[in-house]
Structure 1
Amino acid sequence: MAAIPPLCDFGWKAVDAVLPGTDGKDHSLLAQAGEKGLVVAFICNHCPYVKAVIQRIVRDARDLRQLGVGFVAVNANDAAAYPSDSFENMQVFARENDFPFPYLHDVDQSVARLYGAVCTPDFFGFNGAGELQYRGRLDASRKETAAPGTRRDLYEAMIEVARTGQGPREQIASVGCSIKWRELS
């Protein structure tokens, strides 16, 4: 069933954490920020919404880097219940899709909980001061191939954030598979 996150809580400050990456190194979330901002994306390997847009995520991350906006992706899904989201499969997914950004494993799901992540993909766009300015969709395509000329919502919003420090006031929520939470004991 599709999940829809809440819209942007403007000004909410980015939270740092250090998580293991598919490259075998530990990475700080905030160390991925560029001079003009940071996108923290919650994704996973198996979600059909993510699979449908992963090449556009990679494209936008590369394009945003040129504007001084960093990018990092986090997988918080319960890999015990969803083996396709295991760390080993994350490594394969990152390699197959030529990720130009760290892909991090939130093993205990603490980062996803701190951020209030709801679905995959779920995008958090911060300005250079680490203040949330965008919590919306990548584009209008959902699980389909994007039609030519489809507006790049995340990219366009982060251009505005890079230029002005402020995100657009009208944003359309992302839609995706719910985060696969571990049973709390």
Structure 2
Amino acid sequence: MLRFSRQLDYGQPAPDFALPDTDGRIRTLAEFAGKKALLVAFICNHCPVVLHMLPSLCDFAREYAPKGLQVIAISSNWPDEFPEDDYPHMQAFAKEWDLPFPYLYDESQDVALAYNAICTPDFFLYDGDRNLSYAGQYCPSRPKLPHPPLPGVPPMRTDLPVTGEDMRRAVDAVLAGRSIPVEDQTPSSGCSMKWQPGKDPWWG
């Protein structure tokens, strides 16, 4: 089911986390304290929107790492509906794509709830003080998704290349110490988060 990011809590601090990466190492928010900016991306293995933009996101992470940006990807999907989203498949996925950033497993889904994540991909960009500066799309490009047009919903195929232009502008602003007006932020959109029974929030 199609979902749009909620774009909440601008200026609020990044919620803490302690999650295993695909090598089994526990990674924490404090570990990246020295970085000038932090991008937390909620993704998963199966989502066609994620797969559409992932090569560009990997290149983007490699390009901006020397400038002070730390990218972290988190998968919070409950794998009953899509078994390819489970932890062993995440480990294989990280190797297959040679991900240049940690890919963390949020098995309890508590971190997704803390960040108000609702879709994949869902992006949260924090400044050097770890306050939320941007919660929007990577860029306007979308893949062709197998559903008919929905009333009031932008078309999910734009025929635009994946450039990361929105995220690039946002990260450049954060690294330069500039604010990003909320009205200039377009919601991300993609597959709905897959919640485990009894865990799904009212807004999920």
What is the TM-score normalised by the length of structure 2?
Answer: 0.84
Moved over 3 A (4+): 144-151
Alignment check: 8 A CA contact 2:140 2:160 kept: no
CA contact (8 A) 1:119 1:177 kept: yes
Gaps of 5+ in 2: 145-157, 200-204
Shift of 1:9: 2.9
Q: How far 1:146 moved relative to its partner? A: 6.8
Match in the other structure for 1:140:
140
Q: C-alpha distance in 1, partners of 2:176/2:142?
A: 27
User: For the aligned residues, what is the CA RMSD?
Assistant: 1.9
Counterpart secondary structure, 1:61: helix
Using a 3 Å threshold, how does the CA distance of structure 1 residues 20 and 153 change in structure 2: closer, same or farther?
same
CA-CA distance at 1:166 after TM superposition: 2.3
**Correspondence list, 1:104-119, <5 A:** 104-119=104-119
Correspondence for 2:173: 160
Counterpart residue number, 2:187: 173
Matched-pair identity in %: 41
5+ residue gaps, structure 1 = none
- Could you tell me which residue of structure 1 aligns to residue 73 of structure 2? 73
Counterparts in 2 of 1:38 and 1:78: CA distance versus 1, 3 Å: same
For the pair shown, the structure with the greater C-alpha radius of gyration is 2
Aligned residues of 1:49 and 1:143 also touching (Cα < 8 A): yes
TM-score (norm. length: structure 1)? 0.92
Shift of 1:151: 5.6
Instruction: Show the counterpart of 1:53.
Output: 53
Instruction: Summarize deviations over 1:136-172 as a string: whole Å, max 9, x none.
Output: 0111102269745846111220110111152343101
Instruction: Work out whether residues 8 and 116 of structure 2, in 8 Å CA contact, stay in contact via their aligned partners in 1.
Output: no
Aligned amino acid, residue 184 of structure 1: G
* Residue-pair matches, total: 185
